[in-house]
Structure 1
Amino acid sequence: MRLGVTMFATDLAMPVQELARAAEERGFSSLYVPEHTHIPVARRTPYPGGTSLPEEYKRTLDPLVALSFAAAATSSLRVGTGILLAAQRDPIVTAKALATLDLLSGGRLVVGVGFGWNVEEIEHHGVPYGRRREVARRNVLAMQALWRDEVASFEGFAPSWSWPKPVAVPPVYLGGAAGPKLFAQVAEYAEGWMPIGGRGIKDALPALREACEKAERPMAKVIPFGTLPTREKLDYYASLGITETVANLPSGPADVVLPILDQYAGLLP
Protein backbone atom coordinates (compact mmCIF):
# COMPACT_ATOMS: atom_id res chain seq x y z
CA MET A 1 0.00 0.00 0.00
CA ARG A 2 1.46 3.34 -1.07
CA LEU A 3 0.56 6.26 1.17
CA GLY A 4 0.48 9.88 0.10
CA VAL A 5 -0.58 13.02 1.92
CA THR A 6 -2.63 16.11 1.17
CA MET A 7 -2.69 19.50 2.86
CA PHE A 8 -4.25 22.88 2.14
CA ALA A 9 -1.16 24.86 1.19
CA THR A 10 -1.67 28.44 2.38
CA ASP A 11 0.35 31.50 3.32
CA LEU A 12 0.01 30.50 7.00
CA ALA A 13 0.73 26.77 6.71
CA MET A 14 4.02 24.89 6.72
CA PRO A 15 5.81 25.84 3.48
CA VAL A 16 4.90 23.30 0.83
CA GLN A 17 8.51 22.65 -0.18
CA GLU A 18 9.40 21.79 3.42
CA LEU A 19 6.40 19.47 3.68
CA ALA A 20 7.41 17.80 0.41
CA ARG A 21 10.94 17.15 1.65
CA ALA A 22 9.64 15.81 4.97
CA ALA A 23 7.16 13.52 3.21
CA GLU A 24 9.78 12.13 0.83
CA GLU A 25 12.29 11.57 3.65
CA ARG A 26 9.70 9.51 5.55
CA GLY A 27 8.80 7.34 2.58
CA PHE A 28 5.47 8.81 1.46
CA SER A 29 4.72 8.34 -2.22
CA SER A 30 2.92 11.57 -3.10
CA LEU A 31 1.82 15.05 -2.07
CA TYR A 32 -1.44 16.62 -3.26
CA VAL A 33 -2.70 20.17 -2.79
CA PRO A 34 -6.19 21.55 -3.49
CA GLU A 35 -7.43 24.58 -5.38
CA HIS A 36 -9.76 27.48 -4.74
CA THR A 37 -9.13 30.57 -6.82
CA HIS A 38 -11.06 32.75 -4.38
CA ILE A 39 -13.98 32.56 -1.97
CA PRO A 40 -16.75 35.11 -2.56
CA VAL A 41 -17.63 36.84 0.72
CA ALA A 42 -21.34 37.04 -0.04
CA ARG A 43 -22.43 33.54 -1.04
CA ARG A 44 -25.51 31.41 -0.81
CA THR A 45 -23.56 28.16 -0.99
CA PRO A 46 -23.19 26.43 2.39
CA TYR A 47 -19.91 24.76 3.22
CA PRO A 48 -20.32 20.97 2.81
CA GLY A 49 -21.16 19.48 6.19
CA GLY A 50 -22.96 22.59 7.38
CA THR A 51 -20.17 23.96 9.59
CA SER A 52 -18.48 27.32 9.15
CA LEU A 53 -16.01 27.67 6.30
CA PRO A 54 -12.46 26.81 7.46
CA GLU A 55 -9.97 29.66 7.20
CA GLU A 56 -7.68 27.79 4.79
CA TYR A 57 -10.27 27.96 2.01
CA LYS A 58 -9.73 31.72 1.85
CA ARG A 59 -5.94 31.46 1.72
CA THR A 60 -5.19 28.60 -0.69
CA LEU A 61 -2.02 28.90 -2.76
CA ASP A 62 -2.13 28.38 -6.51
CA PRO A 63 -1.66 24.61 -6.78
CA LEU A 64 0.61 24.59 -9.82
CA VAL A 65 3.02 27.16 -8.42
CA ALA A 66 3.01 25.38 -5.05
CA LEU A 67 3.64 21.98 -6.65
CA SER A 68 6.55 23.38 -8.65
CA PHE A 69 8.25 24.22 -5.35
CA ALA A 70 7.41 20.75 -3.99
CA ALA A 71 8.82 19.05 -7.08
CA ALA A 72 12.00 21.15 -7.05
CA ALA A 73 12.61 20.25 -3.40
CA THR A 74 12.34 16.47 -3.98
CA SER A 75 13.54 13.79 -6.38
CA SER A 76 11.00 10.95 -6.31
CA LEU A 77 7.84 12.26 -4.64
CA ARG A 78 4.85 12.39 -6.97
CA VAL A 79 3.10 15.76 -6.92
CA GLY A 80 -0.57 16.18 -7.67
CA THR A 81 -3.57 18.44 -7.68
CA GLY A 82 -6.18 17.28 -5.26
CA ILE A 83 -8.16 18.68 -6.81
CA LEU A 84 -7.85 21.00 -9.84
CA LEU A 85 -11.06 22.89 -10.60
CA ALA A 86 -10.85 22.31 -14.34
CA ALA A 87 -14.08 24.14 -15.23
CA GLN A 88 -12.61 27.35 -13.79
CA ARG A 89 -9.43 27.24 -15.88
CA ASP A 90 -8.39 28.09 -19.41
CA PRO A 91 -7.42 24.68 -20.84
CA ILE A 92 -4.68 25.93 -23.19
CA VAL A 93 -2.83 27.89 -20.50
CA THR A 94 -3.35 25.17 -17.90
CA ALA A 95 -2.20 22.40 -20.26
CA LYS A 96 1.08 24.21 -20.83
CA ALA A 97 1.62 24.85 -17.12
CA LEU A 98 0.94 21.22 -16.22
CA ALA A 99 3.11 19.91 -19.06
CA THR A 100 5.95 22.18 -17.93
CA LEU A 101 5.60 20.95 -14.35
CA ASP A 102 5.60 17.32 -15.46
CA LEU A 103 8.62 17.80 -17.71
CA LEU A 104 10.69 19.65 -15.11
CA SER A 105 9.78 17.15 -12.39
CA GLY A 106 10.81 14.19 -14.53
CA GLY A 107 7.29 12.87 -15.06
CA ARG A 108 6.06 13.03 -11.46
CA LEU A 109 2.77 14.87 -12.01
CA VAL A 110 -0.70 13.52 -11.17
CA VAL A 111 -3.77 15.56 -12.12
CA GLY A 112 -6.67 15.15 -9.74
CA VAL A 113 -9.72 16.94 -11.15
CA GLY A 114 -12.96 18.00 -9.48
CA PHE A 115 -16.08 19.95 -10.36
CA GLY A 116 -16.43 22.27 -7.37
CA TRP A 117 -19.18 22.95 -4.83
CA ASN A 118 -19.11 26.73 -4.44
CA VAL A 119 -21.72 28.16 -6.81
CA GLU A 120 -20.47 31.74 -6.63
CA GLU A 121 -16.82 30.81 -7.13
CA ILE A 122 -17.65 28.85 -10.26
CA GLU A 123 -19.99 31.49 -11.67
CA HIS A 124 -17.38 34.22 -11.19
CA HIS A 125 -15.40 32.33 -13.84
CA GLY A 126 -18.29 32.65 -16.28
CA VAL A 127 -19.42 29.05 -15.92
CA PRO A 128 -23.04 28.29 -14.96
CA TYR A 129 -23.02 25.93 -11.98
CA GLY A 130 -25.21 23.40 -13.79
CA ARG A 131 -22.69 23.14 -16.64
CA ARG A 132 -19.57 22.69 -14.55
CA ARG A 133 -19.21 18.94 -15.26
CA GLU A 134 -19.66 19.49 -18.98
CA VAL A 135 -17.10 22.31 -19.03
CA ALA A 136 -14.61 20.36 -16.90
CA ARG A 137 -14.90 17.38 -19.27
CA ARG A 138 -14.30 19.59 -22.31
CA ASN A 139 -11.30 21.27 -20.69
CA VAL A 140 -9.66 18.01 -19.62
CA LEU A 141 -10.13 16.46 -23.06
CA ALA A 142 -8.62 19.58 -24.61
CA MET A 143 -5.62 19.42 -22.27
CA GLN A 144 -5.10 15.74 -23.01
CA ALA A 145 -5.07 16.51 -26.74
CA LEU A 146 -2.47 19.24 -26.21
CA TRP A 147 -0.32 16.89 -24.13
CA ARG A 148 -0.61 14.00 -26.56
CA ASP A 149 -0.74 15.33 -30.12
CA GLU A 150 1.96 17.08 -32.10
CA VAL A 151 -0.78 19.10 -33.79
CA ALA A 152 -3.72 19.32 -31.42
CA SER A 153 -7.22 20.58 -32.01
CA PHE A 154 -10.37 20.53 -29.95
CA GLU A 155 -13.54 22.48 -29.36
CA GLY A 156 -12.53 26.10 -28.94
CA PHE A 157 -9.20 26.09 -30.81
CA ALA A 158 -7.96 25.25 -34.29
CA PRO A 159 -5.04 22.85 -34.99
CA SER A 160 -2.15 24.14 -32.91
CA TRP A 161 1.35 23.38 -31.70
CA SER A 162 1.97 23.42 -27.99
CA TRP A 163 5.23 22.47 -26.33
CA PRO A 164 6.63 21.37 -24.00
CA LYS A 165 5.02 17.96 -23.95
CA PRO A 166 4.92 16.13 -20.61
CA VAL A 167 7.20 13.13 -20.15
CA ALA A 168 4.01 11.08 -20.61
CA VAL A 169 0.38 12.14 -20.59
CA PRO A 170 -0.24 12.66 -16.85
CA PRO A 171 -2.83 10.40 -15.23
CA VAL A 172 -6.14 12.10 -14.52
CA TYR A 173 -8.20 11.08 -11.49
CA LEU A 174 -11.69 12.43 -10.89
CA GLY A 175 -12.87 13.36 -7.42
CA GLY A 176 -16.48 13.29 -6.35
CA ALA A 177 -19.28 11.19 -4.91
CA ALA A 178 -20.10 7.83 -6.47
CA GLY A 179 -22.77 7.90 -9.12
CA PRO A 180 -23.50 7.15 -12.77
CA LYS A 181 -22.56 10.63 -14.03
CA LEU A 182 -19.17 10.60 -12.34
CA PHE A 183 -18.39 7.01 -13.26
CA ALA A 184 -19.29 7.60 -16.91
CA GLN A 185 -16.73 10.41 -17.01
CA VAL A 186 -14.11 8.34 -15.19
CA ALA A 187 -14.59 5.57 -17.72
CA GLU A 188 -14.43 7.99 -20.66
CA TYR A 189 -11.29 10.03 -20.02
CA ALA A 190 -9.72 9.37 -16.60
CA GLU A 191 -7.48 6.73 -15.12
CA GLY A 192 -9.16 6.60 -11.76
CA TRP A 193 -11.54 7.81 -9.08
CA MET A 194 -10.57 9.73 -5.91
CA PRO A 195 -13.42 9.33 -3.39
CA ILE A 196 -13.17 11.84 -0.57
CA GLY A 197 -12.70 10.09 2.76
CA GLY A 198 -13.19 6.63 1.32
CA ARG A 199 -16.60 5.80 2.78
CA GLY A 200 -18.81 3.52 0.67
CA ILE A 201 -16.11 2.39 -1.74
CA LYS A 202 -16.93 -1.30 -1.58
CA ASP A 203 -20.56 -0.75 -2.52
CA ALA A 204 -19.56 1.55 -5.39
CA LEU A 205 -17.01 -0.73 -7.03
CA PRO A 206 -19.50 -2.83 -9.08
CA ALA A 207 -20.98 0.30 -10.70
CA LEU A 208 -17.52 1.69 -11.47
CA ARG A 209 -16.47 -1.63 -12.98
CA GLU A 210 -19.63 -1.76 -15.09
CA ALA A 211 -19.01 1.77 -16.41
CA CYS A 212 -15.44 0.88 -17.37
CA GLU A 213 -16.54 -2.33 -19.09
CA LYS A 214 -19.20 -0.43 -21.02
CA ALA A 215 -16.53 2.02 -22.21
CA GLU A 216 -14.23 -0.92 -23.05
CA ARG A 217 -11.54 0.39 -20.75
CA PRO A 218 -9.63 -1.29 -17.92
CA MET A 219 -11.02 -1.02 -14.41
CA ALA A 220 -10.26 2.44 -13.04
CA LYS A 221 -7.81 2.86 -10.21
CA VAL A 222 -9.38 3.87 -6.89
CA ILE A 223 -7.47 6.17 -4.52
CA PRO A 224 -9.24 7.01 -1.23
CA PHE A 225 -8.45 10.69 -0.74
CA GLY A 226 -8.16 12.84 2.36
CA THR A 227 -8.70 9.92 4.69
CA LEU A 228 -7.58 9.62 8.31
CA PRO A 229 -5.54 6.42 8.06
CA THR A 230 -5.37 3.55 10.51
CA ARG A 231 -3.81 0.13 10.07
CA GLU A 232 -7.27 -1.44 9.96
CA LYS A 233 -8.50 1.00 7.34
CA LEU A 234 -5.47 0.52 5.10
CA ASP A 235 -5.77 -3.27 5.39
CA TYR A 236 -9.43 -3.00 4.42
CA TYR A 237 -8.60 -0.91 1.37
CA ALA A 238 -5.93 -3.42 0.40
CA SER A 239 -8.49 -6.23 0.61
CA LEU A 240 -10.51 -4.35 -2.05
CA GLY A 241 -7.52 -4.27 -4.39
CA ILE A 242 -6.62 -0.66 -3.62
CA THR A 243 -2.89 0.07 -3.80
CA GLU A 244 -2.71 3.77 -2.89
CA THR A 245 -4.34 5.99 -0.25
CA VAL A 246 -3.92 9.71 0.41
CA ALA A 247 -4.02 10.81 4.05
CA ASN A 248 -5.26 14.19 5.23
CA LEU A 249 -2.97 16.61 7.07
CA PRO A 250 -4.18 19.72 8.88
CA SER A 251 -3.31 23.07 7.34
CA GLY A 252 -0.96 24.43 9.93
CA PRO A 253 2.64 25.22 10.88
CA ALA A 254 5.36 22.60 11.02
CA ASP A 255 5.02 21.98 14.76
CA VAL A 256 1.42 20.89 14.13
CA VAL A 257 1.90 19.03 10.85
CA LEU A 258 5.13 17.09 11.43
CA PRO A 259 4.00 15.06 14.49
CA ILE A 260 0.97 13.87 12.49
CA LEU A 261 3.17 13.10 9.50
CA ASP A 262 5.39 11.03 11.80
CA GLN A 263 2.32 9.20 13.12
CA TYR A 264 1.21 8.35 9.57
CA ALA A 265 4.75 7.27 8.70
CA GLY A 266 4.38 4.50 11.28
CA LEU A 267 1.78 2.94 8.96
CA LEU A 268 4.17 2.68 6.03
CA PRO A 269 5.42 -0.81 5.09
Structure 2
Amino acid sequence: MRLGVTLFTTDRTMAVHELAAAAEERGFVSLFVPEHTHIPVSRKTPPPTGVDTLPDEYARTPDPFVALAAAATVTERIRLGTGVALPAQRDPIVTAKAIATLDRIAGGRFVLGAGYGWNAEEAADHGVPWKRRRAMVREHVLAMRELWTRDEASYEGEFVAFEPCWSWPKPVGPIPVLLGGAPGPTLFAHIAEFGDGWMPIGGAGIREALPALRAACDAAGREMVQIVPFGTLPTPEKLDYYAGLGVGEVVLRLPAGGREEVLPVLDEYARTYAAFM
Protein backbone atom coordinates (compact mmCIF):
# COMPACT_ATOMS: atom_id res chain seq x y z
CA MET A 1 0.00 0.00 0.00
CA ARG A 2 1.02 3.62 -0.54
CA LEU A 3 0.11 6.57 1.63
CA GLY A 4 -0.57 10.14 0.59
CA VAL A 5 -1.75 13.15 2.56
CA THR A 6 -4.25 15.95 2.21
CA LEU A 7 -4.52 19.30 3.95
CA PHE A 8 -7.41 21.75 3.80
CA THR A 9 -5.06 24.51 2.73
CA THR A 10 -5.77 28.18 3.37
CA ASP A 11 -3.79 31.40 3.60
CA ARG A 12 -3.33 30.57 7.29
CA THR A 13 -2.13 26.97 7.05
CA MET A 14 1.26 25.53 6.21
CA ALA A 15 2.12 26.55 2.65
CA VAL A 16 1.46 23.93 -0.01
CA HIS A 17 5.01 23.96 -1.39
CA GLU A 18 6.50 23.55 2.09
CA LEU A 19 4.15 20.69 2.89
CA ALA A 20 4.89 18.97 -0.42
CA ALA A 21 8.62 19.02 0.28
CA ALA A 22 8.10 17.76 3.84
CA ALA A 23 5.75 14.97 2.73
CA GLU A 24 8.11 13.82 -0.02
CA GLU A 25 11.03 13.80 2.42
CA ARG A 26 9.08 11.47 4.72
CA GLY A 27 8.13 9.04 1.97
CA PHE A 28 4.53 9.95 1.22
CA VAL A 29 3.56 9.37 -2.40
CA SER A 30 0.96 12.08 -2.95
CA LEU A 31 -0.38 15.42 -1.74
CA PHE A 32 -3.91 16.63 -2.48
CA VAL A 33 -5.36 20.10 -1.86
CA PRO A 34 -8.97 21.37 -2.21
CA GLU A 35 -10.65 24.06 -4.28
CA HIS A 36 -13.28 26.68 -3.59
CA THR A 37 -13.23 29.79 -5.73
CA HIS A 38 -15.25 31.76 -3.16
CA ILE A 39 -18.01 31.23 -0.61
CA PRO A 40 -21.16 33.36 -0.88
CA VAL A 41 -22.22 34.90 2.42
CA SER A 42 -25.69 33.41 2.00
CA ARG A 43 -25.95 30.11 3.82
CA LYS A 44 -28.86 28.50 2.00
CA THR A 45 -26.74 25.40 1.45
CA PRO A 46 -25.96 23.68 4.77
CA PRO A 47 -22.32 22.83 5.54
CA PRO A 48 -21.32 19.43 4.11
CA THR A 49 -19.94 18.21 7.43
CA GLY A 50 -23.24 18.57 9.29
CA VAL A 51 -22.08 21.39 11.56
CA ASP A 52 -24.26 24.43 12.14
CA THR A 53 -21.73 27.04 10.99
CA LEU A 54 -19.51 26.68 7.95
CA PRO A 55 -15.85 26.97 9.00
CA ASP A 56 -14.18 30.04 7.52
CA GLU A 57 -11.46 27.85 5.97
CA TYR A 58 -13.80 27.19 3.04
CA ALA A 59 -13.53 30.85 2.02
CA ARG A 60 -9.73 30.93 2.30
CA THR A 61 -8.47 28.20 -0.04
CA PRO A 62 -5.70 29.21 -2.47
CA ASP A 63 -5.97 28.38 -6.14
CA PRO A 64 -4.88 24.72 -6.21
CA PHE A 65 -3.17 24.82 -9.59
CA VAL A 66 -1.00 27.82 -8.72
CA ALA A 67 -0.14 26.34 -5.31
CA LEU A 68 0.70 22.94 -6.78
CA ALA A 69 2.88 24.52 -9.48
CA ALA A 70 4.95 26.05 -6.68
CA ALA A 71 5.06 22.64 -4.99
CA ALA A 72 6.26 21.03 -8.21
CA THR A 73 9.35 23.24 -8.30
CA VAL A 74 10.58 22.08 -4.87
CA THR A 75 9.83 18.34 -5.23
CA GLU A 76 10.89 15.51 -7.53
CA ARG A 77 8.78 12.43 -6.88
CA ILE A 78 5.58 13.12 -4.96
CA ARG A 79 2.39 13.21 -7.03
CA LEU A 80 0.46 16.47 -6.73
CA GLY A 81 -3.30 16.54 -6.99
CA THR A 82 -6.56 18.32 -6.35
CA GLY A 83 -8.84 16.90 -3.70
CA VAL A 84 -11.11 17.96 -5.17
CA ALA A 85 -11.27 20.48 -8.00
CA LEU A 86 -14.66 21.66 -9.24
CA PRO A 87 -14.60 21.40 -13.05
CA ALA A 88 -18.19 22.61 -13.52
CA GLN A 89 -17.12 26.00 -12.14
CA ARG A 90 -14.16 26.33 -14.50
CA ASP A 91 -13.81 27.16 -18.18
CA PRO A 92 -12.58 23.84 -19.62
CA ILE A 93 -10.33 25.38 -22.30
CA VAL A 94 -8.52 27.60 -19.79
CA THR A 95 -8.39 24.84 -17.18
CA ALA A 96 -7.04 22.28 -19.64
CA LYS A 97 -4.13 24.59 -20.43
CA ALA A 98 -3.49 25.34 -16.74
CA ILE A 99 -3.41 21.62 -15.93
CA ALA A 100 -1.19 20.77 -18.90
CA THR A 101 1.23 23.53 -17.91
CA LEU A 102 1.26 22.36 -14.29
CA ASP A 103 1.82 18.75 -15.35
CA ARG A 104 4.81 19.76 -17.44
CA ILE A 105 6.29 21.76 -14.57
CA ALA A 106 5.77 18.70 -12.37
CA GLY A 107 7.25 16.28 -14.90
CA GLY A 108 4.03 14.30 -15.26
CA ARG A 109 3.11 14.13 -11.56
CA PHE A 110 -0.28 15.86 -11.56
CA VAL A 111 -3.50 14.03 -10.61
CA LEU A 112 -6.92 15.60 -11.18
CA GLY A 113 -9.22 14.79 -8.30
CA ALA A 114 -12.59 16.15 -9.42
CA GLY A 115 -15.96 16.54 -7.76
CA TYR A 116 -19.45 17.79 -8.46
CA GLY A 117 -19.55 20.36 -5.66
CA TRP A 118 -21.86 20.77 -2.68
CA ASN A 119 -22.40 24.57 -2.46
CA ALA A 120 -25.30 25.60 -4.66
CA GLU A 121 -24.70 29.34 -4.19
CA GLU A 122 -21.03 29.05 -5.17
CA ALA A 123 -21.96 27.12 -8.30
CA ALA A 124 -24.72 29.58 -9.20
CA ASP A 125 -22.21 32.43 -9.29
CA HIS A 126 -20.38 30.48 -11.98
CA GLY A 127 -23.57 29.95 -13.98
CA VAL A 128 -23.82 26.26 -13.09
CA PRO A 129 -27.39 24.88 -13.25
CA TRP A 130 -27.37 22.96 -9.98
CA LYS A 131 -29.37 19.93 -11.03
CA ARG A 132 -27.23 19.57 -14.15
CA ARG A 133 -23.82 19.96 -12.51
CA ARG A 134 -22.92 16.28 -12.88
CA ALA A 135 -23.55 16.37 -16.60
CA MET A 136 -21.54 19.58 -16.74
CA VAL A 137 -18.57 18.00 -14.96
CA ARG A 138 -18.69 15.10 -17.41
CA GLU A 139 -18.55 17.37 -20.45
CA HIS A 140 -15.84 19.60 -19.01
CA VAL A 141 -13.58 16.63 -18.29
CA LEU A 142 -14.26 15.03 -21.67
CA ALA A 143 -13.54 18.32 -23.42
CA MET A 144 -10.29 18.72 -21.49
CA ARG A 145 -9.24 15.20 -22.46
CA GLU A 146 -9.70 16.18 -26.11
CA LEU A 147 -7.49 19.23 -25.62
CA TRP A 148 -4.84 17.20 -23.80
CA THR A 149 -4.63 14.38 -26.33
CA ARG A 150 -5.40 15.71 -29.83
CA ASP A 151 -3.34 17.97 -32.04
CA GLU A 152 -6.60 19.35 -33.43
CA ALA A 153 -9.19 19.18 -30.68
CA SER A 154 -12.90 19.85 -30.91
CA TYR A 155 -15.94 19.16 -28.77
CA GLU A 156 -19.68 19.48 -29.20
CA GLY A 157 -21.92 19.08 -26.17
CA GLU A 158 -24.71 20.64 -24.20
CA PHE A 159 -22.42 22.81 -22.07
CA VAL A 160 -19.15 22.87 -24.01
CA ALA A 161 -18.62 23.46 -27.70
CA PHE A 162 -15.57 24.52 -29.66
CA GLU A 163 -14.46 24.13 -33.26
CA PRO A 164 -11.23 22.28 -34.15
CA CYS A 165 -8.39 24.14 -32.49
CA TRP A 166 -4.76 23.97 -31.46
CA SER A 167 -3.81 24.05 -27.82
CA TRP A 168 -0.37 23.43 -26.40
CA PRO A 169 1.39 22.54 -24.18
CA LYS A 170 0.16 19.00 -23.83
CA PRO A 171 0.58 17.14 -20.53
CA VAL A 172 3.61 14.89 -20.14
CA GLY A 173 1.30 11.89 -20.23
CA PRO A 174 -2.32 10.97 -19.59
CA ILE A 175 -3.80 12.98 -16.70
CA PRO A 176 -5.25 10.57 -14.11
CA VAL A 177 -8.79 11.60 -13.19
CA LEU A 178 -10.13 10.47 -9.80
CA LEU A 179 -13.77 11.30 -9.12
CA GLY A 180 -14.97 12.05 -5.62
CA GLY A 181 -18.47 11.59 -4.32
CA ALA A 182 -20.90 9.26 -2.61
CA PRO A 183 -21.48 5.91 -4.33
CA GLY A 184 -24.28 5.84 -6.86
CA PRO A 185 -25.11 4.95 -10.46
CA THR A 186 -24.27 8.36 -11.94
CA LEU A 187 -20.89 8.59 -10.23
CA PHE A 188 -19.93 5.04 -11.12
CA ALA A 189 -21.09 5.46 -14.73
CA HIS A 190 -18.91 8.58 -15.01
CA ILE A 191 -15.91 6.83 -13.47
CA ALA A 192 -16.31 3.95 -15.89
CA GLU A 193 -16.67 6.32 -18.85
CA PHE A 194 -13.96 8.92 -18.28
CA GLY A 195 -12.35 8.41 -14.87
CA ASP A 196 -9.40 6.46 -13.61
CA GLY A 197 -10.57 5.90 -10.06
CA TRP A 198 -12.90 6.71 -7.19
CA MET A 199 -12.00 8.92 -4.21
CA PRO A 200 -14.52 8.10 -1.47
CA ILE A 201 -14.31 10.76 1.24
CA GLY A 202 -13.28 9.11 4.49
CA GLY A 203 -13.48 5.70 2.88
CA ALA A 204 -16.72 4.46 4.45
CA GLY A 205 -18.92 2.05 2.51
CA ILE A 206 -16.31 0.82 0.06
CA ARG A 207 -16.96 -2.89 0.51
CA GLU A 208 -20.69 -2.48 -0.10
CA ALA A 209 -20.09 -0.30 -3.18
CA LEU A 210 -17.52 -2.53 -4.86
CA PRO A 211 -19.99 -4.74 -6.79
CA ALA A 212 -21.75 -1.72 -8.33
CA LEU A 213 -18.49 -0.04 -9.32
CA ARG A 214 -17.18 -3.28 -10.80
CA ALA A 215 -20.43 -3.76 -12.73
CA ALA A 216 -20.18 -0.24 -14.16
CA CYS A 217 -16.64 -0.92 -15.32
CA ASP A 218 -17.69 -4.24 -16.85
CA ALA A 219 -20.54 -2.52 -18.69
CA ALA A 220 -18.07 0.01 -20.11
CA GLY A 221 -15.75 -2.78 -21.22
CA ARG A 222 -12.85 -1.80 -19.01
CA GLU A 223 -10.93 -3.22 -16.10
CA MET A 224 -11.78 -2.31 -12.51
CA VAL A 225 -10.47 1.15 -11.59
CA GLN A 226 -8.48 2.07 -8.50
CA ILE A 227 -10.11 3.18 -5.25
CA VAL A 228 -8.30 5.83 -3.22
CA PRO A 229 -9.91 6.47 0.19
CA PHE A 230 -9.52 10.20 0.79
CA GLY A 231 -9.17 12.29 3.94
CA THR A 232 -8.85 9.20 6.11
CA LEU A 233 -8.02 9.39 9.80
CA PRO A 234 -5.86 6.29 9.98
CA THR A 235 -5.57 3.37 12.35
CA PRO A 236 -3.59 0.18 11.66
CA GLU A 237 -6.85 -1.77 11.61
CA LYS A 238 -8.39 0.58 9.06
CA LEU A 239 -5.38 0.41 6.75
CA ASP A 240 -5.30 -3.38 7.04
CA TYR A 241 -8.99 -3.41 6.12
CA TYR A 242 -8.35 -1.29 3.01
CA ALA A 243 -5.43 -3.50 2.02
CA GLY A 244 -7.71 -6.52 2.28
CA LEU A 245 -10.08 -4.88 -0.20
CA GLY A 246 -7.24 -4.43 -2.69
CA VAL A 247 -6.85 -0.69 -2.09
CA GLY A 248 -3.40 0.44 -3.22
CA GLU A 249 -3.34 4.01 -1.92
CA VAL A 250 -4.92 5.84 1.01
CA VAL A 251 -4.80 9.62 1.46
CA LEU A 252 -4.50 10.60 5.13
CA ARG A 253 -5.98 13.77 6.60
CA LEU A 254 -3.71 16.34 8.20
CA PRO A 255 -4.91 19.07 10.58
CA ALA A 256 -5.65 22.41 8.92
CA GLY A 257 -2.96 24.37 10.71
CA GLY A 258 0.49 25.85 10.49
CA ARG A 259 3.84 24.05 10.47
CA GLU A 260 3.79 23.63 14.23
CA GLU A 261 0.52 21.69 14.00
CA VAL A 262 1.03 19.84 10.73
CA LEU A 263 4.61 18.57 10.94
CA PRO A 264 4.21 16.61 14.21
CA VAL A 265 1.22 14.76 12.75
CA LEU A 266 3.10 14.16 9.49
CA ASP A 267 5.98 12.71 11.49
CA GLU A 268 3.61 10.58 13.56
CA TYR A 269 1.97 9.17 10.42
CA ALA A 270 5.36 8.40 8.87
CA ARG A 271 6.54 6.68 12.04
CA THR A 272 3.35 4.79 12.92
CA TYR A 273 2.42 3.66 9.44
CA ALA A 274 5.86 3.02 7.95
CA ALA A 275 4.87 -0.59 7.28
CA PHE A 276 2.16 0.63 4.89
CA MET A 277 4.43 2.99 2.92
Report matched runs for 1:73-152 at 5 Å: 73-152=74-153
**Does 1:38 pair with 2:43?**
no
Match of 2:213 in 1: 208
Match of 1:69 in 2: 70
Give me the whole-angstrom Cα distance separating, in 1, the residues matched to 2:29 and 2:8. Answer: 18
Report matched runs for 1:15-34 at 5 Å: 15-34=15-34
Q: Percent identity?
A: 63
SS at match of 1:199: coil
**Does 1:242 pair with 2:243?**
no
Find 1:261's aligned residue among 266, 270, 273.
266
Q: Is the 8 A contact 1:3 1:268 kept in 2?
A: no
Deviation at 1:104, TM superposition (A): 1.3
SS at match of 2:121: helix
Match of 2:184 in 1: 179
Amino acid at match of 2:43: R
Q: CA offsets, 1:114-168, max 9 Å, x none?
A: 0000000001000111011011100000000100111110021000111001011
Give me the whole-angstrom Cα distance separating, in 2, the residues matched to 1:218 and 1:105. Answer: 28
SS at match of 1:166: coil
Give me the whole-angstrom Cα distance separating, in 1, the residues matched to 2:246 and 2:154. Answer: 37
Give me the whole-angstrom Cα distance separating, in 1, the residues matched to 2:132 and 2:91. Answer: 15
Deviation at 1:214, TM superposition (A): 0.3
Amino acid at match of 2:243: A
SS at match of 2:133: helix
Amino acid at match of 2:56: E
Give me the whole-angstrom Cα distance separating, in 2, the residues matched to 1:7 and 1:55. Answer: 15
Unaligned runs of 5+ in 2: none
Deviation at 1:49, TM superposition (A): 3.1
Give me the whole-angstrom Cα distance separating, in 2, the residues matched to 1:262 and 1:63. Answer: 24
Q: Is the 8 A contact 1:9 1:66 kept in 2?
A: no
Deviation at 1:69, TM superposition (A): 1.0
Give me the whole-angstrom Cα distance separating, in 1, the residues matched to 2:104 and 2:112. Answer: 14
Give me the whole-angstrom Cα distance separating, in 1, the residues matched to 2:128 and 2:48. Answer: 20
Give me the whole-angstrom Cα distance separating, in 2, the residues matched to 1:180 and 1:246. Answer: 24
SS at match of 1:84: coil
Give me the whole-angstrom Cα distance separating, in 2, the residues matched to 1:56 and 1:43. Answer: 15
Deviation at 1:178, TM superposition (A): 0.4
Deviation at 1:54, TM superposition (A): 1.5
Deviation at 1:70, TM superposition (A): 1.1
SS at match of 2:85: strand
Match of 1:221 in 2: 226
Give me the whole-angstrom Cα distance separating, in 2, the residues matched to 1:14 and 1:120. Answer: 28
Q: Is the 8 A contact 1:102 1:167 kept in 2?
A: yes
- RMSD (Å), alpha carbons: 0.7
**Does 1:198 pair with 2:199?**
no
TM-score (norm 1): 0.99
Unaligned runs of 5+ in 1: none
Deviation at 1:50, TM superposition (A): 2.3
Q: CA offsets, 1:225-250, max 9 Å, x none?
A: 00001111111101000000001111
Amino acid at match of 2:24: E
SS at match of 1:83: coil
Give me the whole-angstrom Cα distance separating, in 2, the residues matched to 1:268 and 1:98. Answer: 32
TM-score (norm 2): 0.96
Give me the whole-angstrom Cα distance separating, in 2, the residues matched to 1:176 and 1:101. Answer: 25
Give me the whole-angstrom Cα distance separating, in 2, the residues matched to 1:35 and 1:196. Answer: 15
| Number of residue equivalences | 269
Give me the whole-angstrom Cα distance separating, in 1, the residues matched to 2:6 and 2:198. Answer: 16
Give me the whole-angstrom Cα distance separating, in 2, the residues matched to 1:20 and 1:207. Answer: 35
Give me the whole-angstrom Cα distance separating, in 2, the residues matched to 1:106 and 1:50. Answer: 39
Amino acid at match of 1:88: Q
